[in-house]
Structure 1
Amino acid sequence: MKHTKIYPDARAALDGLLRNDMLIAAGGFGLCGIPELLIAAIRDSGVTGLTVASNNAGVDGFGLGVLLETRQVKKMISSYVGENAEFMRQYLAGELELEFNPQGTLAERMRAGGAGIPGFYTKTGVGTVIAEGKEHHDFDGETYILERGLVADLAIVKAWKADPSGNVIFRKTARNFNLPAATCGKVCVAEVEEIVPLGSLEPDHIHLPGIYVHRIVQGPHEKRIEQRTTRKRETV
Structure 2
Amino acid sequence: MLVKISTLCYIHDCLDRIAQNFFLKEITAIVKSDSNDPTKVLFLKIKAFIPVVKEVEHYIDQFEIGDVIYIRGKFIVYESYYMVTATLIKVTDLEFDDMPAIGIGITITDQTTQTAKTVDENIVLDFYVEEQIGEKEPTDFWVEVRYKVNNTYLASRTSSINQKICSTNALLIGTINYLRPTSDSNEGKHILTLEEISLLSTPNGPNYFTLPSSNPLSAEQTPSSRETQDQNNQPDRDFN
| Larger relative contact order, structure 1 or 2 (CA cutoff 8 Å, min sep 6) | 1
Counting strand residues as a fraction of each chain, which structure ranks higher?
2
Question: What's the TM-score once normalised by structure 2's chain length?
Answer: 0.25
- More helix per residue: 1
> TM-score when scaled to structure 1?
0.25
